[in-house]
């Protein structure tokens, strides 16, 4: 059994379907999705339907992303957030307006059951964005930071690569976990990118909402697979470009 982490999908269902084939995913593999399932390409409803069905046949863990929470808020209230609409929400809204209300209800259950983080037996943390408390996730004051924070990746990139976790100057915030896997902050918006590591943090957001690919990584071996550039799978669409 492999543990496979998947970066931000952003409604790129066609890219996700490619990855499952490229990586020869088995139902026994543990699929950990790092959040942001919607907001980008036109197949938002189809993406969530696919994930709901995938969980019936595969071992899946779904982490909450900020875009998932924004979409959930709109589904619940119908209040339009201009920032959400400008950053992928318009395509998601259009997708849902063509869906049956029964789908809305099943998707609201999906969004409500998303996890803010997941910690595995190897003490590897999976979270969409990050956390700020120096003592770790159990002590975080504001749960929204799990899917909105950007300082964790900024911190990881600033760490001297020669430092080890046991060194006194290694950031205390990062010492609680053997490795941390995140999405949220695209490594590139303008072209192809591969997963990047800073300190003990891996970023798997390779810009699927923009001009990049969707990425899946075996967290043990660090082998990874990528879709075609997602925008090529949705000709005529802008995504978040």
Mean pLDDT of 2-16: 98
Q: How confident is the model at residue 235 (pLDDT cuts 50, 70, 90)?
A: very high
Is the pLDDT score of 130 beyond 90? yes
Domains and CATH numbers, the chain: 3-233 (3.60.21.10)
Q: CA–CA separation, 193 vs 215, rounded Å?
A: 9
Task: Count CB neighbours of 27 within 10 A.
Answer: 10
Q: What is the mean pLDDT of the chain?
A: 97
pLDDT in tens, 46-92: 999 999 999 999 999 999 999 999 999 999 999 989 999 999 999 99
pLDDT at 95: 98
Mean pLDDT, rounded, for 9-16: 98
Q: How confident is the model at residue 7 (pLDDT cuts 50, 70, 90)?
A: very high
Tokens of 183: 């999405």
* Secondary structure element (H or E) that encloses residue 49, with its range: helix 44-57
CA distance 231 to 216: 17
Going through the chain in order, the beta strands assigned E by DSSP cover 3-6, 30-33, 59-62, 117-119, 124-127, 179-182, 196-198, 201-203, 215-218, 224-226
| CA pair distance 37, 45, nearest whole angstrom | 10
Q: 210 near 240, Cβ under 8 Å?
A: yes
The pLDDT confidence band at residue 164, using thresholds 50, 70 and 90, is confident
Q: What is the pTM of this model?
A: 0.97
Please give the average per-residue pLDDT across 26-42, as a whole number. Answer: 98
pLDDT of 34 over the 90 cut: yes
Q: How confident is the model at residue 165 (pLDDT cuts 50, 70, 90)?
A: confident
Per residue in 89-121, pLDDT (tens digit) is 999 999 999 999 899 999 999 999 999 999 999
């Amino acid at each position: 059994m492999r543990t496979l982490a998947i970066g931000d999908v952003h409604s790129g269902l066609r890219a996700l379907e490619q990855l499952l084939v490229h990586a020869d995913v088995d139902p026994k593999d543990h699929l950990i999705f790092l959040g942001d399932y919607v907001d980008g390409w036109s197949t938002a409803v189809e993406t969530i339907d696919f994930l709901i069905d995938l969980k019936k046949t595969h071992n899946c863990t779904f982490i909450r992303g900020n875009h998932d929470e924004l979409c959930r808020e709109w589904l619940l209230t119908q209040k339009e957030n201009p920032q959400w609409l400008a950053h992928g929400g318009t395509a998601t809204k259009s997708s849902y307006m063509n869906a049956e209300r029964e789908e809305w209800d099943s998707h609201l259950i999906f969004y409500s059951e998303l996890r803010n983080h997941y910690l595995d037996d190897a003490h590897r943390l999976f979270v969409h964005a990050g956390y700020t408390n120096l003592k770790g996730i159990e002590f975080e004051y504001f749960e929204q930071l799990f899917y909105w924070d950007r300082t964790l990746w900024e911190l990881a990139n600033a760490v001297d690569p020669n430092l080890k976790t046991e060194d006194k100057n290694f950031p205390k915030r990062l010492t609680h976990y053997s490795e941390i896997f995140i999405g949220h902050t695209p490594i590139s918006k303008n072209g192809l990118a591969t997963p990047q590591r800073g300190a003990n943090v891996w970023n798997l957001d390779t810009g699927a909402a923009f001009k990049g690919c969707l990425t899946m990584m075996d967290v043990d071996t660090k082998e990874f697979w990528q879709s075609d550039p997602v925008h090529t799978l949705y000709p005529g669409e802008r995504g978040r470009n």
